[in-house]
Every structure is written in structure tokens, then in C-alpha cells.
């Protein structure tokens, strides 16, 4: 009855352009400029610069600083950064790890991965308003963090992986704590599973095509959820000895990422448990001096969000000439501008969260 | 009956007065910076009151039709028991026609979100 | 007594609602006013003891108006009325603000201006005033004692129309009715506005008319815009020729003058060309009527809203208007011959109505006005006034129900078919509308 | 009714509404705690809304720059007025009703729509991106709830032969309508959750809009809007108890107590279920309403009609 007022020509409406982030309850650390046609996103631009700390420049002040800064590259995965840096220095000095130290590193990296994934699950479930699952994941995250703290100390003081090995041996009660977490996880798997309504929200959300993901330099769970078997750990002998097989998802959407994360939490905890049982004897660390060797070396670690690498260039002096870090988050953020087009505004926080961006790591 | 409405009118006036009183007594914000609308922490730059594309366009149209229908339903419901079968058959036809309307709108994708 | 009070209150709301709808700048407000008006009519129904009818009235109209609101927001330009309001303020049109949206608050005040920042312009143009409170007058910049807004030069708030050249003028025309032409100054026979001189170059044969809001609308004859219903205006008035630039000035600091292009020493903005103050007065910079921050030295389109840029004198020293016989506050109230002349009440009203949302809502406003008037007079002329409960508490609903199922069954069933037809029509129309 | 009684009724209603709003906040927290299996003490739950009230009262009322002040102002006024107008028709007990209208149920349905307009005004008037987006979502709510809500409620007047809420309660003295109209009851509860902005239908004030229509509302203005949303939840739940659970009817205890218990039970159920479900998108909500609830109400009316016919005929 009111439609008579409508002109018979096409309906020309205006787009609503809005900022989304950096201070948004759902998206923090990056700013999106969303162009909304109705409630549907028709263009998304990413703006960075809210988490830049100039870490790489700071790392040039000395080896001690560089080692400390390596564990600050991704604040949510300090040990992965430290491991990448340690491997770079070890490659410079051509040092070998003892079997015990290698196994201990596996344990801490896997425990860190489990904790990070659980935090991701809790966050995504919270955004989905799947409150029981969010609470469960949060609870498990706290338990995993406690176990992590047993090994490496309180968060913020986590310099445990050092060039040449690890800073201290694993405490005796770590294994018990770990199996406790694992048991709790087994009991909670049902609760972590998404109900049908939540699954419908995640289905097809932030769909990443495998080929495109490779092209853009994606890594970690984002890439593996598309079915691409890319995992640094497959090339590691220690991991192979522990029976590691990468978990793969299919579909590449947020739902695939969710189930991949759930599976990887279990896998990570099991790997950590295996790594800590029957530890080979030996020293946990050797002294690996960074001063006196010149050259360029690179070290990698598979962090919770994907491959983290550290590149060290030195002339053998008291401070590195250049330390560079690289992680997958920048590539993942780059995917966003394609992923968000066509999705509803209500799905934007979910889509952003499902990529598990660490803007600290992306901007360094 | 008008007694009832006189009381309700008192309620209406009281509600308006109460809300206005609370607003009048409220402490006013003086810092102009605080008056910037929330837009994720950035100053708002783009036009807000745009010609927004209302995507539930079709549903809105169908809604008006059904809103009208409700007007018929309530008097019918009140006398339903008294009139009996005739009223039932009457409403049956009524609802059947409406169901056709719903089915048609559904089939034509009026309830699907436009992509 | 109570009934009389209720009656007066409801009548005022009903009539005020339709008046508000007619005169508001905001599409959204217009719909809310419409709703208020209908709800007040429903109140009148209750006074007439027809509460079912009143409830139906409220339901249909709140729902229907809300849907109409959605459509208006989707279909009509400037649904919030910001642009219109801004235009009204720039033109210095007084009145009716209560029915329109409240004034936009200014952005947070910048640091207080130092005395040396005052433009060294003479005459009464140093009169600074508050955009909100025109009665505030100050000799220099500062903030308003009433609302703390930054004061602005009064002349900048009430810009004169583009003054035509002081020579070469041999025709005079009405600013609102370009078809009115005269060889001598005088008043427009249509709206009573003072005629303004027009350049000889703009012969009537060469003119085109365009809509101030829709520059793509072009017409060889005056009339209404097919898109928004506003009166078309001479395109030449919107697009004045670019002047020959001789000096450069800063858009922010008019006291900065330079003979060469460069940067402003105060704010490092690029200087913009400006005509010599002693030369013939003319447009010196172009600005968007909607976005005053948009400035250009040449005519063109606004990058923000694609409107045609209009000449803006506020950047130029006002004292330099050699063509003006009265250098003082021109504008609406004390208009000089060269400036935009004083508007007659009729012209003023016409402009208000043109700028308001009424063009879209006029049928609704008229309909509701007529209905209110009929209803009000019927209530007033009723024999049983003042109203008192009559007879037993009749159950209106069941009476309606009985009627529906007995005498008006055809209406009942017919309504269903009507709704079916409505749905089909809506879907067909909607599909056609929405396919882009 | 003489003016004195009307005033007593007004202030009584206001007092009851304030207490009920506080109780609604407590029940909201309780349902949430139950849904997420979070152990919370009742005392803490009861104190939280009061603490929040204290904070909101002290906070300044911020009006966004460039806002349409008139619309912003109208939002809380309309919301509070609607709540009071609705509170006036809910029958608390036999003879304990302020205004027993013979179009009672229809009156309630009609008055719910202005509440939607109030929220829309709050969002649009703020002239902020998220507020405007929230306003359009609020408009979607009207399109989603009104038709199923009205059709679900229609079973009661069919059986009671009146729209008067008092007569509807009295018609349930043998059997609650909710018992033999389960479809209508269920649809009523879902659409009641939509109109009262309960999770999972709290779209206009959703997180992804940073609070949506309430994002730029603060202090006492927020208190009025949020409080009337909670009060509306109480009233619509109470209406559900009146329509489907026999209102004040019940053994032993006095009538009003029964109504309060039934209302609280409905609210707790709505809160508990709502917090377990993920928030719907506007398109999902509208799809649910028009594809599931509306056909469901057709079924409900047909079944109710047949049952009534069999009852009166046999």
C-alpha cells in the first residue's frame, strides 16, 4: 500500500561506512572500514598500526634483548617465538640440541598450543554466545595455563626456551598436571561440540579457499582447515618419533577451523604427554654463544597460529645487525578483506575471531 | 469503560512525567569529547543518516497485510464459540487464503535474505 | 471537564503532528509525527467510546507508519534531514526549529583564538555571533556564553547571495522566480522578494534550470524537480564563473594575504586564490552548500556529496564588497539592494515548505488534516457532549464479530483475498524494485 | 473509580513495577548462571542490579554530538509510558486489576508496537552508526514478533469468548489453556522473547554493534530504557501466565502470589533457554518468525478451533 511511492526505477540506496575496531567489544587491535549495504558488508578495508611496537629495531640493541624480545613477538605464544629465535641462533652456531632438551621443547610448545587453542575456542564460543562451551573452554584454558606455568613460570616471565636448550628441567608434577588436563579435556569434548544452531552460524562463515590461502601465505590452522597438509612439525624428527600426524580439516570455513582446533588441542596435549614420558637423560642446555659467529641464519617454529620464523644477521659482534620475525597473522589479516565481503555485519566479529589473528605478531 | 481509560490516561501522563523528571534531574555531560558517538574508538567520519538499504523490504510489505488480518481475527475469536461451525469454516477459508499468500511469498523468496 | 481537557490535548497533538510532519526537515521525524497524530486520533476515538476502533487505528498506523518509515529511509534522500537543516541554517531562515530536529551541536571547541587572529576587516562585519544564539554578539572570536560554541562571524552565518557584478547589469530578476524579469529594480510580483540584478551574459534564452539538490536535473524552463519537488533554480546561480585570481589567501586565516601561491604561515594550508579586495566584488572561493569544509577555487562538484559548488564569500574580506551599497549585515533582515533581499512571509513560508519533507508527505498531511478536522468537528457537534457513559457496557468486540460473521461475511472473506492480492502485489513490486 | 483510588493504583503499580524490574534483573542473572553452570550466590545476584542502579544514577547523561535531541528524548519517555500503560491492565488477582478493558488482549498487542518505535528513536536519534544499525534491527523485531504473537494469543479469547484478561483467567478455572494449547503457548513464548529483546533475540543491542541502540545511551537515560525493557519482559511474561497458565488461579496461596510464581517461572525458563542459544541474526530471526512461527500459529488456531467445536458440540 505504501509502495506506490516507490519510483519504478532501480532502488538507489546509500552505503553506510563505519569503523569497526580497534576499540570494539569483538574486534581489537585492528581497524576495519566496513562499507555496509543494508547489513551486508560490500567492502572491507583493513587498517593496521594499532599494535606496532618496533620490536625488530629494539632487538638490534644486543643479544640479550633479542632473546627477550623474541618471546614478545606473539604475546599469546611466547615460547614459539623464543623457539624460532633459539633455532636461528643454534643454526648460526651450528649447535645440536640434546635429546632431552628437544623433547622438553616439544612439551612446552604443544602445551602452549593447547592453551592458545583453548583460549581461541573460548573466545569464539563467547562471540557465538555458546555460553556453556565458552565457559568450558575457558576452564580448560586456565588448567592448561596452570600446567604451562609449572614448566615455565608465570606468564610474563616466560623465557624458558633459550638457545642451546631450555632454561630448566621439567618439574616432577608436570606430567601429573598434564594428564589431569588431558582427562578433563576428554570429559569435556561433548561440551565443546557446537550445537546445531551454533554450527549453522559457523557453516560457510569466513570460507577460505585452499589455493587462495597458499597464495596469500596463510599457515597454521587456517591453512590446515582447508585440507592443505602444511605443518612444520612433519619435518621434525622429534615429532616423527612421537608419532605426529598433522590434523587436517575440510571445508576451510569457521566450522572446519573450530573442529580442527578442538582436535588439535587433544593432539597437542597427547604429544606433550608423550614427550615428557621416558625423557632421555642428558643436559637440558648447552652454552651456545651468539657472539663470534658471523652470518645469516633463520629458525622456524610451528606456533599456535602457524609458522613463526626468526632471521638473524650478524657480523659476530656484540649485537645482531638485524633480527627479523615473521608470522602468519599479517597474511591472515590480508585475507579478511576478501572474506568479509558479502557476509552480514553480525558475522564480522565471528569471521575475524575465527582467523585467530594476533595483531601484535602481525605488526611486531 | 471511560473510567478505565481515564485511569489509563493518568498512567500515561504519569509515565511521561516520570521519565521527563528523571531526564531533567540527570547530570549533564559537559566534556564535549564525551559527546562523540561511539564508533569503535575512531572519530566518526562518514555520513550516518544514509538512505539505508532495508533488506527486509518484502517482509515489511507482507507484514502490513498480515497486520491488517489480525484486526479481523480478534472479533472473530470472541464470537467463535457462540457461532460454532460456521465461524470455523469461515476462518478455515480465511486462513487457507492467507496460507496461500504465505506460500506464494515464501516461494518467491520474500523470506530469504537477499544476497 | 476532564473530557474537555483530554479532547483539547488530543486535538492539539493530532493537528500539531500533522503540522510537524509538514514542516520537519527529517524524514524520520515526519513518520514519528504521523504516528503521533494517528495515535492522538485514536485517543479521540476512545473519547467517543469506540475503543476497538481506537486500538485498530493505533495498531495499523504504528505498524504501517513504521513500514513506511523504512521505505522512506530507503527511498528518500537525506532521511535524517541533516542537509536540509544545514541549508536552512545557512540561509538564516528562522522559525519552526521545534518541529524540526534539534540543532547539531558543534564539534568540541578549539583552543581560544588569540586577539591577533581576529580578521582585520572593518565595519560591522566584526560582529561575531553564535550559530545557535543569534542574539549573542561579540566584537571578536570566542565562545558563546549560552552554549559554549565557537562564535562565528555573523556574515559567515548569513551569507549573502552571490552578488552580481556592479557593471553590465541591465536586467533584474527574482531569486526565486527566474522567469520574472525586469529592467529596473523592484519587487517580484509572485513572491514579493526584491529583484536582484543579473548579468547581461545570462540571457533568459541561454539559461537552464536545475534542482539545488539534484544537479543532474536540467530543464529549459522553471518548474519543480521531478525527484524532490523543489523549485528549480537558475543553474547560473549555482555555478558562477571563476574569477581571475590575483591574490592568495588562506582559507582558514583570511588576514593572510600573498601575491604568490604558497603555504599559510599560520597553519601551513595551501593558499587559495582570491580576488583583489578593491576590485569588483565577486565570488572568491567555491564551497559546497552542504559541506562548508569543502573549498575549491574553481566551480565543480563537491567530492562528498556531488552537489554543485557555490560561490562563498565568507573567505573573502567582507569590506571589499564594492558593489554593495550597504556594507553592513545584509542577508535576510536588513537586506541591501545587492544582497539577498528580505523575504516576504509568503516567500519564506514557501521556502520552508519546499525544504521540509512535505513534498513527499503532502498527501498524508492533507489526509490526516482533513480526517482530524472532520472528526474534531463531529465530536464538538455531538449532542451528548460532554461525553458520559451511555447505557450498559456494550462488548464492542463481540458485536463486531457477530456482524463480521453474519452480515459482513463477504467483507471478512474479501479481506483475505485482499491480503492475498496485497502480498502478491508486494512481492512482485518488491522483486522488481530490489533487482539492481 | 474515584481520583483517590486511581492515585493509589498508580503508586501501587509503580512500586510493584520497580520491584518487579529488580526481580527481573535477578532472574536474568539466575537464568544466565544456570545456563552456563556457573555457581553464583543468590545474594550476589540480588545485589548486582542494585549496584548497577547506583552507578547508573550517578553517571552523566551524555547526548551524542549532532544527535536529534527530540528523538533521543522521546525514547525513554515512550518506553516508560508504554510499560505503565501495559501494567495497568494486567490482572493480579480476582478484582485486583486497575483497568479491565473489554479489548484487553488486543490493547496489549497494540501497545507493544510503540515500544519498538521507542528503541528505534533511541538508535536513530543518536546519529551514530551502530545506533542507526540497531534501529533498523529493532524495526525488524516488530516485523518478526507481532503477527505470531497475536495469532498465538488468539487461542485464549477463542476459548474464553472475550478479550478481557479477567474473563480469560476466569475461563481457565477447569484447565489452563497452556495445557491444551501447547503449540500456541510455545509460539507465544518465542515471540515474547523477541518483543522483549531477550537473548537470543537481543539484536538491537547486540555486541557486534557495541551495544547498538544503547551504545550511546548512558546514565539515567540508560536506566530508563534498560529498566523498561526488563519491565516489559515481566509484563509480557505475566501476560503469558494470564493467557496460558491460568493467571491468579491456584489452590491454597492467594491469587497474586500464584501469578508472581507463574510469571517468575516463565521468566526463568525464558532466561535459561535463551542464554543457552547463540544470538540469531536479523535474517535468521525473520526467517524463524515467518517460516516456522507463523505456519505454526495457523496450526494452533485450527487445532484450538477443532477442540472447542468438539467440546461444545459433544
Confidence of residue D17 (pLDDT cuts 50, 70, 90): very high
Instruction: Locate the chain D residue with the closest alpha carbon to A36.
Output: D133
For chain B, the chains sharing at least 3 beta-carbon pairs closer than 8 angstroms are A, C, D
Q: Chains with 3 or more CB pairs closer than 8 angstroms to C? A: A, B, D
Classified as helix, coil or strand, C324 is coil
Chain D neighbors (3+ CB pairs < 8 Å): A, B, C
Q: Do A201 and D37 touch (CB under 8 A)?
A: no
User: Residue A1 is nearest to which of B50, B55, B64, comparing CB atoms?
Assistant: B64
Task: With CB atoms and an 8 Å threshold, state whether C423 touches B104.
Answer: yes
The pLDDT value recorded for residue D189 is 94
Report pLDDT for D227: 92
CA distances from A221 to A170, A226, A306, D31 (A): 28, 9, 7, 35
Mean pLDDT score of chain C:
61
A131 vs D35, D206, D281: nearest CB: D35
Closest chain D residue to B93, measured at CA: D302
Using CB atoms, pick whichever of B23, B29, B82 lies closest to residue D76: B23
Q: E strands within chain A? A: 16-20, 31-37, 40-47, 161-162, 165-166, 294-303, 306-315, 322-326
**Which residue in A has a C-alpha nearest to residue B65's C-alpha?**
A1
Compare CB distances from A25 to D133, D210, D277 and report the shortest one's residue: D210
What's residue D80's pLDDT? 94
Distance from C-alpha of A148 to C-alpha of A153, rounded to nearest angstrom: 7
In tens, the pLDDT along C129-173 reads 665 665 656 655 666 655 655 666 555 554 443 343 344 444 566
Q: What is the mean pLDDT of residues D148-158?
A: 92
Q: pLDDT of D263-273, one tens digit each?
A: 999 999 999 98
Name every chain A residue with its beta carbon within 8 A of the beta carbon of C436. Answer: 10-11
C432 touches chain A (CB under 8 A): yes
Most confident of A212-226, B82-96, D232-246: D232-246
In the prediction, which pLDDT does C159 show? 43
Of chain D, the percentage scoring pLDDT greater than 90 comes to 43
Question: Which residue among B33, B65, B93 sits closest to C413, beta carbon to beta carbon?
Answer: B93
Give the C-alpha separation, D92 to D248, whole Å: 6
In SS3 terms, C359-387 reads as HHHHHHHHHHHHHHHHHHHHHHHCCCCCC
Report the distance separating Cα A53 and Cα C210, nearest Å.
Answer: 55
Residue B7 has pLDDT above 50, yes or no: yes
Q: Is C422 on the interface with A (CB under 8 A)?
A: yes
Q: What is the DSSP letter of D293?
A: I
Least CB-CB distance to A24: which of D210, D277, D281?
A: D210
Residue A340's Cβ-side half-sphere holds a number of Cα atoms within 13 Å equal to: 31
Q: Which of D6, D65, D66, D166 best probes binding to C when mutated, by most C CB atoms within 10 angstroms?
A: D66
**Nearest residue, CB atoms, D103 vs list C35, C39, C52:** C52
Q: Which residues contact D175 (CB under 8 A, 6 or more apart)?
A: none
How far A349 CA lies from chain D's nearest CA (Å)? 6
Angle (CA) D218 D224 D228, round 5°: 130
- A50-59, C275-284, D1-10, range with the lowest pLDDT: C275-284
CB contact under 8 A, D102 and C396: yes
List A315's β-bridge partners, or say none: A294
What digits encode the pLDDT tens for the residues A243-264? Answer: 888 888 888 888 888 888 888 8
- Rounded to the nearest integer, the mean pLDDT of chain A is 81
- Please answer yes or no on whether B14 and D84 come within 8 Å at the CB atom: yes
Across D63-86, average pLDDT: 88
Q: Do C405 and B79 touch (CB under 8 A)?
A: yes
Q: How near does any CA of chain C get to the CA of D310, in Å?
A: 20
- CA gap C256, A214 in Å, rounded: 57
Residue C336 has pLDDT above 90, yes or no: no
Write out chain A residues lying below 8 Å of B51, CB-based. Answer: 12-14
Contact B27 D59 (CB under 8 A): yes
pLDDT higher than threshold 90 for residue C53: no
The whole-angstrom distance between residue D141's C-alpha and the CA centroid of its chain comes to 13
* Mean pLDDT (chain D, rounded): 89
**Interface touch D278/A36, C-beta < 8 Å:** no
Stretch A162-168: mean pLDDT: 78
Q: How far apart are CA B45 and CA D53, in angstroms?
A: 34
**Number of CB pairs < 8 Å for A and C?**
31
> What is the DSSP secondary-structure string of A204-270?
TTT---HHHHHHHT--HHHHHTTT----GGGG-HHHHHTT------SS-SHHHHHHHHHHHHHHHHH
Alpha-carbon gap: D113 to the closest alpha carbon of chain C (Å): 7
Q: How far is A14 from chain C (nearest CA, A)?
A: 8
Work out the mean pLDDT of chain B and round it to a whole number.
81
Q: How far is C416 from chain D (nearest CA, A)?
A: 14
The CA-based angle D95-D100-D103, given to 5 degrees, is 150
Neighbour-count burial for C315-344, b at 16+ CB within 10 Å, e otherwise:
bbbbbbbbbbeebebbbbeebbbbbbbbbe
pLDDT tens for each residue of B55-95: 787 788 888 888 878 888 888 888 888 888 888 888 888 88
Distance CA D163, CA D109 (A): 11
Above 80 in pLDDT, residue D165?
yes
Residues of A whose CB is below 8 A from C423: none
Q: In the beta sheet, which residues pair with residue A35?
A: A17, A43
User: What is the bridge-based pairing of β-strands A165-166 and A161-162?
Assistant: antiparallel
* Cβ neighbours of C39 in D, within 8 Å: 114
Contact A3 C75 (CB under 8 A): no
Q: Among residues 236-275 of chain D, which lie with CB inside 8 Å of chain B? A: none
Which of A101-110, B72-81, C201-210, D225-234 is predicted least confidently?
C201-210
Judge whether residue D188 has pLDDT over 90: yes
Strand A161-162 relative to strand A40-47, pairing = unpaired
C71 contacts A2? CB cut-off 8 A:
yes
Q: Quick one: DSSP state of residue A358? A: -
The 10s digit of each residue's pLDDT in C72-86 is: 777 777 777 777 777
Quick check: D66 and C82 CB within 8 A?
yes
Question: Is the sign of the CA dihedral C217, C218, C222, C226 positive or negative?
Answer: negative
D216 CB neighbours in chain A (<8 A) are none
User: Is residue C86 less than 8 Å (CB to CB) from chain D?
Assistant: no
Region A259-280 average pLDDT: 84
CA distance to partner chain C, nearest, from residue A3 (Å): 8
Contact between chains at D278 and A129 (C-beta distance less than 8 A) = yes
Burial of C77 (0-12, 13-18, 19+ CB in 10 A): middle
Q: Do B97 and C430 touch (CB under 8 A)?
A: no
| Contact check, Cβ <8 Å, B113/D14 | no
Task: Measure in Å the smallest separation between the Cα of B31 and chain A Cα atoms.
Answer: 20
Residues 6+ apart with CB under 8 A from C353: C22, C23
CB distance D114–C62 less than 8 Å? Answer: yes
Name the residue among C67, C433, C435 with its Cβ closest to that of A6: C433
pLDDT at residue C110, rounded to an integer: 41
pLDDT band at D161 (very low <50, low <70, confident <90, very high): confident
Q: Taking residues C362-370, what's their average pLDDT?
A: 72
User: Residues near D163 by Cβ (< 8 Å), separated by ≥ 6?
Assistant: B74, B77, B78, C397, D101, D102, D103, D104, D105, D106, D157
Q: Are D79 and D118 in contact (CB under 8 A)?
A: yes
| Strands, sheet with A322-326, edge to edge from the N-terminal-most edge strand | A294-303, A306-315, A322-326
Run of H or E residues at C199: strand C196-199
Interface of A with B (CB under 8 A): 1-3, 11-24, 27, 31, 37-40, 342, 344
Query: Angle at Cα D90 formed by Cα D86 and Cα D91, nearest 5°?
Result: 160
Interface test mutation site (partner B, options A4, A12, A13, A22, max chain B beta carbons within 10 A): A13
In sequence order, which residues have a C-beta less than 8 Å from that of residue C231 and are 6 or more positions away?
C176, C222, C223, C224, C225, C354
C window 33-62, beta carbon within 8 A of D: 35, 39, 51-52, 55, 58-59, 62
Per-residue pLDDT at C315: 42
* Out of B105-114, C31-40, C318-327, least confident range: C318-327
pLDDT category at B6 given cuts 50, 70, 90 is: confident
Amino acid at each position: 500500500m505504501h509502495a506506490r511511492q516507490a519510483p519504478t526505477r532501480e532502488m538507489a540506496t546509500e552505503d553506510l561506512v563505519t569503523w569497526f575496531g580497534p576499540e570494539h567489544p569483538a574486534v581489537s587491535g585492528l581497524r576495519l572500514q566496513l562499507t555496509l549495504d543494508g547489513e551486508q558488508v560490500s567492502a572491507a578495508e583493513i587498517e593496521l598500526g594499532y599494535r606496532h611496537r618496533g620490536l625488530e629495531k629494539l632487538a638490534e640493541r644486543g643479544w640479550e634483548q633479542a632473546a627477550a624480545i623474541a618471546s614478545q613477538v606473539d604475546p599469546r605464544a611466547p615460547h614459539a617465538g623464543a623457539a624460532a629465535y633459539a633455532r636461528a641462533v643454534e643454526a648460526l652456531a651450528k649447535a645440536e640440541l640434546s635429546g632431552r632438551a628437544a623433547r622438553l621443547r616439544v612439551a612446552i610448545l604443544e602445551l602452549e598450543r593447547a592453551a592458545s587453542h583453548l583460549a581461541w575456542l573460548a573466545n569464539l564460543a563467547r562471540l557465538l554466545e555458546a555460553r556453556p562451551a565458552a565457559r568450558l573452554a575457558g576452564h580448560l584454558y586456565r588448567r592448561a595455563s596452570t600446567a604451562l606455568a609449572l614448566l615455565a613460570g608465570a606468564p610474563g616471565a616466560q623465557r624458558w626456551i633459550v638457545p642451546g636448550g631450555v632454561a630448566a628441567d621439567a618439574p616432577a608434577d608436570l606430567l601429573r598436571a598434564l594428564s589431569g588436563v588431558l582427562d578433563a579435556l576428554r570429559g569435556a569434548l561433548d561440551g565443546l561440540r557446537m550445537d546445531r544452531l551454533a554450527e549453522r552460524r559457523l557453516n560457510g562463515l569466513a570460507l577460505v579457499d585452499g589455493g587462495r590461502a597458499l597464495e596469500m601465505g596463510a599457515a597454521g590452522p587456517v591453512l590446515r582447515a582447508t585440507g592443505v597438509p602444511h605443518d612444520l612439525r612433519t619435518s621434525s624428527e622429534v615429532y616423527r618419533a612421537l608419532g605426529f600426524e598433522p590434523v587436517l580439516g575440510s571445508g576451510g570455513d569457521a566450522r572446519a577451523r573450530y573442529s580442527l582446533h578442538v582436535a588439535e588441542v587433544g593432539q597437542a596435549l597427547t604429544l606433550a604427554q608423550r614427550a615428557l614420558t621416558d625423557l632421555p637423560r642428558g643436559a637440558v642446555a648447552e652454552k651456545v654463544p651468539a657472539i663470534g659467529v658471523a652470518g645469516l641464519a633463520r629458525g622456524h617454529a610451528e606456533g599456535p597460529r602457524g609458522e613463526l620464523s626468526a632471521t638473524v644477521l650478524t657480523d659476530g659482534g656484540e649485537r645482531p645487525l638485524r633480527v627479523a620475525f615473521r608470522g602468519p597473522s599479517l597474511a591472515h589479516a590480508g585475507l579478511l578483506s576478501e572474506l568479509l565481503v558479502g557476509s552480514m555485519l553480525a558475522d564480522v566479529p565471528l569471521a575475524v575471531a575465527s582467523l585467530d589473528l594476533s595483531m601484535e605478531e602481525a605488526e611486531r | 469503560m471511560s473510567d478505565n481509560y481515564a485511569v489509563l490516561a493518568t498512567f500515561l501522563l504519569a509515565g511521561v512525567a516520570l521519565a521527563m523528571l528523571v531526564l531533567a534531574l540527570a547530570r549533564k555531560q559537559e566534556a564535549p569529547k564525551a559527546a562523540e558517538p561511539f564508533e569503535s574508538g575512531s572519530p566518526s567520519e562518514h555520513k550516518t543518516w544514509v538512505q539505508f538499504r532495508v533488506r527486509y523490504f518484502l517482509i515489511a510489505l507482507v507484514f502490513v497485510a498480515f497486520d491488517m488480518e489480525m484486526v479481523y481475527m480478534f472479533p472473530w475469536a470472541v464470537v467463535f464459540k457462540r457461532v460454532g461451525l460456521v465461524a470455523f469454516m469461515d476462518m478455515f477459508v480465511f486462513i487457507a487464503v492467507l496460507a496461500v499468500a504465505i506460500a506464494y511469498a515464501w516461494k518467491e523468496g520474500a523470506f530469504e535474505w537477499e544476497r | 471537564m476532564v473530557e474537555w481537557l483530554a479532547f483539547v490535548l488530543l486535538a492539539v497533538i493530532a493537528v500539531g503532528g500533522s503540522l510537524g510532519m509538514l514542516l520537519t526537515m527529517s524524514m524520520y521525524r515526519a513518520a514519528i509525527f504521523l504516528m503521533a497524530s494517528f495515535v492522538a486520533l485514536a485517543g479521540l476515538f476512545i473519547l467517543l467510546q469506540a475503543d476497538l476502533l481506537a486500538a485498530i487505528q493505533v495498531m495499523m498506523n504504528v505498524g504501517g507508519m513504521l513500514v513506511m518509515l523504512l521505505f522512506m529511509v530507503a527511498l528518500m534522500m537525506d532521511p535524517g534531514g541533516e542537509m536540509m537543516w544545514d541549508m536552512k541554517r545557512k540561509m538564516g531562515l528562522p522559525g519552526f526549529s521545534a518541529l524540526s530536529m534539534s540543532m547539531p551541536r558543534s564539534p568540541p571547541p578549539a583552543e581560544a583564538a588569540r586577539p591577533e587572529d581576529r580578521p582585520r576587516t572593518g565595519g560591522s562585519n566584526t560582529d561575531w555571533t553564535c550559530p545557535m544564539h543569534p542574539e549573542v554578539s561579540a566584537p571578536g572570536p570566542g565562545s558563546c556564553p549560552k552554549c559554549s560554541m565557537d562564535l562565528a562571524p555573523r556574515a559567515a552565518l548569513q551569507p549573502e547571495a552571490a552578488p552580481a557584478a556592479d557593471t553590465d547589469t541591465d536586467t533584474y530578476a527574482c531569486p526565486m522566480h527566474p522567469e520574472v524579469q525586469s529592467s529596473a529594480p523592484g519587487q517580484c510580483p509572485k513572491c514579493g522578494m526584491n529583484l536582484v540584478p543579473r548579468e547581461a551574459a545570462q540571457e533568459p534564452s541561454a539559461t537552464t534550470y536545475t534542482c539545488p539538490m539534484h544537479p543532474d536535473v536540467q530543464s529549459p524552463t522553471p518548474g519543480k524537480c521531478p525527484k524532490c519537488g523543489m523549485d528549480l533554480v537558475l543553474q547560473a546561480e549555482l555555478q558562477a564563473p571563476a574569477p581571475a585570481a590575483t591574490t592568495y589567501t588562506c582559507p582558514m586565516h583570511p588576514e593572510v594575504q600573498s601575491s604568490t601561491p604558497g603555504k599559510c604561515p599560520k597553519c601551513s594550508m595551501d593558499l587559495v586564490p582570491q580576488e583583489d579586495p578593491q576590485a569588483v566584488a565577486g565570488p572568491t572561493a567555491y564551497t559546497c552548500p552542504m559541506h562548508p569544509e569543502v573549498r575549491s577555487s574553481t566551480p565543480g562538484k563537491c567530492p562528498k556529496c556531488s552537489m554543485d559548488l557555490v560561490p562563498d564569500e565568507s573567505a573573502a574580506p567582507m569590506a571589499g564588497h564594492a558593489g554593495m551599497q550597504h556594507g553592513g549585515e545584509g542577508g535576510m533582515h536588513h537586506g541591501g539592494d545587492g544582497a539577498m533581499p528580505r523575504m516576504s512571509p509568503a516567500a519564506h513560508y514557501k521556502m520552508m515548505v519546499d525544504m521540509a519533507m512535505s513534498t513527499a508527505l503532502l498527501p498524508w498531511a492533507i489526509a490526516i488534516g482533513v480526517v482530524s478536522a472532520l472528526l474534531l468537528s463531529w465530536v464538538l457537534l455531538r449532542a451528548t457532549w460532554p461525553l458520559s457513559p451511555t447505557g450498559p457496557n456494550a462488548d464492542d468486540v463481540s458485536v463486531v464479530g457477530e456482524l463480521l460473521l453474519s452480515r459482513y461475511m463477504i467483507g471478512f472473506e474479501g479481506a483475505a483475498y485482499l491480503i492475498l492480492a496485497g502480498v502478491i502485489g508486494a512481492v512482485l513490486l518488491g522483486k522488481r524494485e530490489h533487482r539492481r | 473509580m474515584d481520583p483517590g483510588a486511581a492515585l493509589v493504583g498508580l503508586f501501587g503499580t509503580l512500586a510493584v513495577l520497580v520491584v518487579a524490574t529488580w526481580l527481573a534483573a535477578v532472574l536474568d542473572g539466575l537464568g544466565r548462571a544456570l545456563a552456563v553452570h556457573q555457581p553464583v550466590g543468590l545474594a550476589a545476584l540480588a545485589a548486582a542490579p542494585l549496584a548497577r542502579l547506583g552507578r547508573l544514577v550517578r553517571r552523566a547523561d551524555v547526548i551524542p554530538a549532532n544527535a536529534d535531541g527530540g528523538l533521543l528524548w522521546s525514547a525513554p519517555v515512550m518506553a516508560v509510558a508504554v510499560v505503565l500503560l501495559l501494567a495497568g491492565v494486567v490482572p493480579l488477582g480476582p478484582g485486583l486489576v486497575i483497568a479491565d478493558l473489554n479489548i484487553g488482549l488486543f490493547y496489549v498487542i497494540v501497545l507493544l508496537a510503540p515500544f519498538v518505535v521507542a528503541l528505534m528513536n533511541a538508535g536513530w536519534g543518536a546519529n551514530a552508526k551502530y545506533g542507526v544499525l540497531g534501529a533498523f534491527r529493532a524495526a525488524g523485531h516488530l516485523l518478526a514478533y507481532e503477527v505470531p504473537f497475536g495469532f498465538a494469543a488468539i487461542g485464549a479469547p477463542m476459548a474464553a469468548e472475550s478479550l478481557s484478561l479477567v474473563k480469560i483467567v476466569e475461563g481457565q478455572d477447569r484447565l489452563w489453556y497452556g495445557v491444551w494449547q501447547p503449540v500456541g503457548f510455545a509460539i507465544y513464548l518465542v515471540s515474547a522473547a523477541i518483543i522483549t529483546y531477550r537473548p537470543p533475540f537481543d539484536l538491537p543491542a547486540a555486541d557486534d554493534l557495541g551495544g547498538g541502540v544503547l551504545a550511546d545511551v548512558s546514565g539515567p537515560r540508560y536506566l530508563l530504557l534498560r529498566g523498561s525493557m526488563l519491565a516489559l519482559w515481566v509484563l509480557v511474561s505475566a501476560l503469558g501466565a494470564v493467557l496460558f497458565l491460568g493467571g491468579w488461579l491456584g489452590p491454597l496461596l492467594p491469587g497474586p502470589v500464584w501469578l508472581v510464581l507463574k510469571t517468575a517461572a516463565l521468566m526463568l525458563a525464558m532466561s535459561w533457554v535463551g542464554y543457552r542459544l547463540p544470538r540469531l541474526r536479523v535474517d535468521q530471526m525473520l526467517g524463524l518468525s515467518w517460516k516456522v512461527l507463523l505456519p505454526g500459529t495457523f496450526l494452533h488456531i485450527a487445532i484450538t478451533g477443532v477442540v472447542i467445536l468438539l467440546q461444545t458440540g459433544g
